[in-house]
Chains A and B, each alone.
Chain A
């Protein structure tokens, strides 16, 4: 295996949840197309951000990569090894290298176990005995995540929300993983605590060289933490790029609308007014998604072609290498033309 190979290589990843119904015998009558044909790579030591609104499939993607869910189609390769349908036994060595951090620090820790037991759990399951013993390792981990090693024998309820998330991070680090899938790791925390945890994750990523798939809805936090970012809409990636390109030169209309909707805590009246694009309507149902481009029902530049032909995720003209956009009519830096804007969006006053 050479160094140019990605750590994680996902292609055509698809997850359809069947819907049961029918009469008199129940059968599969449809499917929630939660994830529909994702292609992306994560390189060693790199953080890839997955952003999108609720129902876009980002959490499902995280669960597919970690094999908490079984993909309907497509492949997931870890260091070149196909783990898409690997059995428990085949998966065991890979499982210790791919870890997960969850959103809810309250629900994801067993309240009846001490912190020491929780963090050493993964080592016990995988029968790993680090030099100096598990307890020594756990104390090291507590130190790394900024908790007092003396708290080894305490229970989760004795900690605050931010501290509990640190325990979750320590548990994920216990097996010296190469890849951590973090599913909304800070969204349940207070603002002042979010920053503490983001800093911790950033330290972990930089110092231990761990790759991240960072799933979040907060675009500013994703930009801060991830070197590359993929934007998802209704189960598909609409745009993926280095963060500078994605935030600085969004080519997909959805990315552009999403970025313009983020409220910023600035009151600088000298700065040029930010663009405001207001999408109308709601995200369509993933049970019966629009044909062609899935964003077309809310897009101000959709044409006939968008309804019939799904745009491929490609390097659009003018994109830097590695900046892929799935749009027939990629955005330019120009303002959105006024007549169409009147139909679907509102300009800032």
Chain B
């Protein structure tokens, strides 16, 4: 286990390094000058030069990348704009704040959104999928299949606005989406995020219903499930102890990747409900050619995916004794 973790974490760091280098390089392929935007309307060539210097973009790209890397370990100074202490992921061109601080500000909202909706879609998706698998071909199965087909063809911006209109404005059942930190007021935290959770979870629930159903149907036809029945195990035991155990692995794998994707920012959901999460941050940064911020959010997404992959592999190994961690 220890060897596995060390090896995988080292691998993850290499991956993040490559991703940051590629992002850096790609960014400079875009013909846009972030200094122009930062400098403002009445920009003189001298001012522009000064801004460029402050932003640290007056060096060749490899040198800039080196400074950026160094900043992570020793911090960095941005002239008039101020200092950025280690670990420094850079300094935002647009809102003139250290990147890391901004991301950390936005992260709690995004994490709340991601984990909250994950709980909803796991419970409903996996539950509906299991019921559909037990009742193969019966009305429950047909309902789950057609329901999930409809739900997965809906779009968040469509469902989101309709739900806002009816559930919040017209009927007033749910609160207007807002974010209160969990530590301040748990009740407000939940009530403010309930609508985004449900809307975001709707489409994912559909996917998990279908995935769980097909995995369960597959494992229910495995030989070892037949053996379990042949030795007199009850249908319930067969279903949960044998079939579900086999179906769990693939579902856990997909769930890890999905969760990581959500932590990278649910851009549309955040936009629809006017929530200031990581997704919105990424969108704004791209629009403003804010390289350090783009880089920071990209690394967050990549880091989340790499991290959850490690977790998934460890969990998979604990589910399936045939997998050896190495």
The reply to whether chain A is a binding partner of chain B is yes
Q: A248 at the A/B interface (Cβ < 8 Å)?
A: no
Cα distance, A139 to B246, chains bound together (Å): 48
Chain A interface, >50% SS class: loop
0/1 string, B58-89, CB within 8 A of A gives 1: 00000000000000000000000000000000
Q: Are B10 and A24 in contact (CB under 8 A)?
A: yes
Q: A21 at the A/B interface (Cβ < 8 Å)?
A: yes
Chain A residues closer than 8 Å to B3, beta-carbon distance: 23-24
Chain A residues closer than 8 Å to B6, beta-carbon distance: 23-24
Chain A residues closer than 8 Å to B7, beta-carbon distance: 23-24
Chain A residues closer than 8 Å to B326, beta-carbon distance: 21
Cα distance, A21 to B326, chains bound together (Å): 8
Cα distance, A23 to B3, chains bound together (Å): 7
- Nearest neighbor of B4 in chain A, beta-carbon distance: A23
Cα distance, A21 to B324, chains bound together (Å): 12
B5-53 at interface with A (beta carbon < 8 Å): 6-7, 10
Chain A residues closer than 8 Å to B10, beta-carbon distance: 24
- Nearest neighbor of A20 in chain B, beta-carbon distance: B326
Cα distance, A24 to B6, chains bound together (Å): 8
Chain B residues closer than 8 Å to A23, beta-carbon distance: 3, 6-7
0/1 string, B289-326, CB within 8 A of A gives 1: 00000000000000000000000000000000000001
Cα distance, A311 to B3, chains bound together (Å): 42
- Write the nearest CB–CB distance from A73 to chain B, whole angstroms: 28
- Write the nearest CB–CB distance from B40 to chain A, whole angstroms: 51
- Write the nearest CB–CB distance from A233 to chain B, whole angstroms: 28
- How many of chain A's residues touch chain B, expressed as a range? under 10
- Write the nearest CB–CB distance from A158 to chain B, whole angstroms: 26
- Nearest neighbor of A21 in chain B, beta-carbon distance: B326
- Write the nearest CB–CB distance from B15 to chain A, whole angstroms: 17
Cα distance, A326 to B7, chains bound together (Å): 46
A7-52 at interface with B (beta carbon < 8 Å): 21, 23-24
- Nearest neighbor of B7 in chain A, beta-carbon distance: A24
Cα distance, A21 to B3, chains bound together (Å): 11
- Write the nearest CB–CB distance from A30 to chain B, whole angstroms: 14
Chain B residues closer than 8 Å to A21, beta-carbon distance: 326
- Write the nearest CB–CB distance from B323 to chain A, whole angstroms: 15
- Nearest neighbor of A23 in chain B, beta-carbon distance: B3
Cα distance, A332 to B326, chains bound together (Å): 50
- Write the nearest CB–CB distance from A343 to chain B, whole angstroms: 35
- Write the nearest CB–CB distance from B226 to chain A, whole angstroms: 22
Cα distance, A23 to B10, chains bound together (Å): 12
Cα distance, A24 to B5, chains bound together (Å): 11
Cα distance, A20 to B219, chains bound together (Å): 31
Cα distance, A221 to B7, chains bound together (Å): 51
A262-306 at interface with B (beta carbon < 8 Å): none
- Write the nearest CB–CB distance from A24 to chain B, whole angstroms: 6
Cα distance, A21 to B6, chains bound together (Å): 15
Cα distance, A24 to B7, chains bound together (Å): 7
- Nearest neighbor of A25 in chain B, beta-carbon distance: B7
Cα distance, A336 to B7, chains bound together (Å): 55
- Nearest neighbor of B10 in chain A, beta-carbon distance: A24
Cα distance, A23 to B325, chains bound together (Å): 12
- Write the nearest CB–CB distance from B66 to chain A, whole angstroms: 26
- Write the nearest CB–CB distance from A28 to chain B, whole angstroms: 14
Cα distance, A120 to B45, chains bound together (Å): 73
- Nearest neighbor of B3 in chain A, beta-carbon distance: A23
Cα distance, A106 to B10, chains bound together (Å): 44
- Nearest neighbor of B6 in chain A, beta-carbon distance: A24
Cα distance, A189 to B7, chains bound together (Å): 47
- Write the nearest CB–CB distance from A52 to chain B, whole angstroms: 27
Cα distance, A21 to B7, chains bound together (Å): 12
- Write the nearest CB–CB distance from B89 to chain A, whole angstroms: 28
Chain B residues closer than 8 Å to A24, beta-carbon distance: 3, 6-7, 10
Cα distance, A54 to B10, chains bound together (Å): 40
A144-185 at interface with B (beta carbon < 8 Å): none
- Nearest neighbor of B326 in chain A, beta-carbon distance: A21
Cα distance, A23 to B8, chains bound together (Å): 12
- Write the nearest CB–CB distance from B121 to chain A, whole angstroms: 37
Cα distance, A23 to B4, chains bound together (Å): 9
0/1 string, A202-231, CB within 8 A of B gives 1: 000000000000000000000000000000
Cα distance, A24 to B3, chains bound together (Å): 8
- Write the nearest CB–CB distance from B1 to chain A, whole angstroms: 12
- Write the nearest CB–CB distance from B324 to chain A, whole angstroms: 10
0/1 string, A95-116, CB within 8 A of B gives 1: 0000000000000000000000
- Write the nearest CB–CB distance from A37 to chain B, whole angstroms: 31
Q: Give residues in B with beta carbon < 8 Å to A.
A: 3, 6-7, 10, 326
8 A–B contact pairs at CB < 8 A? A21-B326, A23-B3, A23-B6, A23-B7, A24-B3, A24-B6, A24-B7, A24-B10
Q: Give residues in A with beta carbon < 8 Å to B.
A: 21, 23-24
Besides A24-B3, A24-B7, 6 more A-B contacts (Cβ < 8 Å) are A21-B326, A23-B3, A23-B6, A23-B7, A24-B6, A24-B10
Sorted nearest first, the 5 A-B pairs with minimum C-beta distance are A23-B3, A24-B7, A24-B6, A21-B326, A23-B7
